[in-house]
Amino acid sequence: MTRLDLYGPVHKGLRALLFDTAAHVARTEFASAEETVAALTAVRRARHFLEGHIEHEDHDVMPVIARLAPELFADLEADHARVTGLEQELDRIVERVEAAHAAERVALGRKLCERFTRLVAEHVIHMEREESQANRVLWAHLGDGELAALEGKIVGSIPADELAGWLTLMLPATNLGERAGILARMSTVVPAEVIDRLTSEARWLIGPEGWDATVAAVASLRNAESIGRPA
């Protein structure tokens, strides 16, 4: 039986964002003011999503882990502290790059690339720990209804414009079944016209054929749920 995964789809979106941003920074010619601005914008966007992700985990998921598995909670807290320190260091480098002249930007750009790559590595290791160890704890102690309620609490706390950004990040990075599951659960609490608005950019990224398949998969899930409900 496939369990509801609070981490997997979000992490897929974050990994895609981190890898794309690392590649962007690596190919940037920091002697160029225009390329530098684009690279710093990409880094700040990645930082925004990473910061929001950890905030939601700390507020909604980590207290559950703390109650069920205190030792794992301590390990994950240490991970969060480590990546937060790297992110703050990265912020300082971004500010220095922004204020530097062309020659200095080149040296700082190399440092930015190195530190962002290190941040990617730390996040990838941390996310794998959550997907394996934290999910194991959650699945052992919570039913899918409880997990869905926890997911709904997180989604409900995100402003619409920010939620659209998360869907743009996640949906193209996930497989058909994961996309359908996300949207089917959303459709129970969010009107269809709102979902259409929130997913407009994601639909463009996925493409017409992929989106048609997603819509069909969502309908199949919703139909299966309705058949399974008692009369």
- For 25-64, how does the pLDDT look when each residue is reduced to its tens digit (9 = 90+)? 999 999 999 999 999 999 999 999 999 999 999 999 999 9
Mean pLDDT of the chain: 92
Which of 139, 154, 169 is at the close of a domain? Answer: 154
User: Which of these, 139, 205, 129, 194, lies nearest to 170 by C-alpha position?
Assistant: 205
Confidence of residue 231 (pLDDT cuts 50, 70, 90): very low
Same domain as 144, residue 80: yes
Same domain as 149, residue 172: no
Which of 154, 178, 213 is at the close of a domain? Answer: 154
Same domain as 167, residue 116: no
CATH of the domain at 130: 1.20.120.520
Q: How many domains does the chain have?
A: 2
Is this model's pTM higher than 0.85 or not? yes
As given in the structure block, the two tokens for residue 149 are 């309620």
DSSP characters over 155-207: HHTS-HHHHHHHHHHHGGGS-HHHHHHHHHHHHTTS-HHHHHHHTHHHHHHH-
**What pLDDT does residue 226 have?**
63
pLDDT over threshold 90, residue 228: no
Same domain as 21, residue 120: yes
Which of 154, 183, 198 is at the close of a domain? Answer: 154
E strand or H helix that includes residue 49:
helix 33-56
User: Which of these, 110, 119, 86, lies nearest to 29 by C-alpha position?
Assistant: 110
Same domain as 181, residue 83: no
Same domain as 60, residue 128: yes
The answer to whether residues 164 and 186 touch, using CB atoms and an 8 Å cutoff, is: no
Helix 33-56 vs helix 8-26: angle between axes, to the nearest 10 degrees? 160
- Contacts for 121 with CB less than 8 Å, ≥ 6 apart: none
**What pLDDT does residue 13 have?**
97
The answer to whether residues 211 and 180 touch, using CB atoms and an 8 Å cutoff, is: no
Q: Domain range spanning residue 22?
A: 1-154
The C-alpha R_g of the chain, in whole angstroms, comes to 20
As given in the structure block, the two tokens for residue 44 are 């700040």
Same domain as 54, residue 167: no
Same domain as 109, residue 41: yes
pLDDT over threshold 80, residue 227: no
Mean predicted confidence (pLDDT) in 178-207: 91
Same domain as 7, residue 75: yes
pLDDT over threshold 60, residue 180: yes
Mean predicted confidence (pLDDT) in 133-145: 95
The answer to whether residues 169 and 13 touch, using CB atoms and an 8 Å cutoff, is: yes
Half-sphere exposure of 33 (CA within 13 A, CB side): 4
1 or 108, which is more confident: 108
Same domain as 190, residue 113: no
Mean predicted confidence (pLDDT) in 99-103: 90
Same domain as 75, residue 49: yes
Same domain as 15, residue 119: yes
User: Which of these, 128, 145, 123, lies nearest to 7 by C-alpha position?
Assistant: 128
Helix 176-187 vs helix 144-156: angle between axes, to the nearest 10 degrees? 70
E strand or H helix that includes residue 2:
none
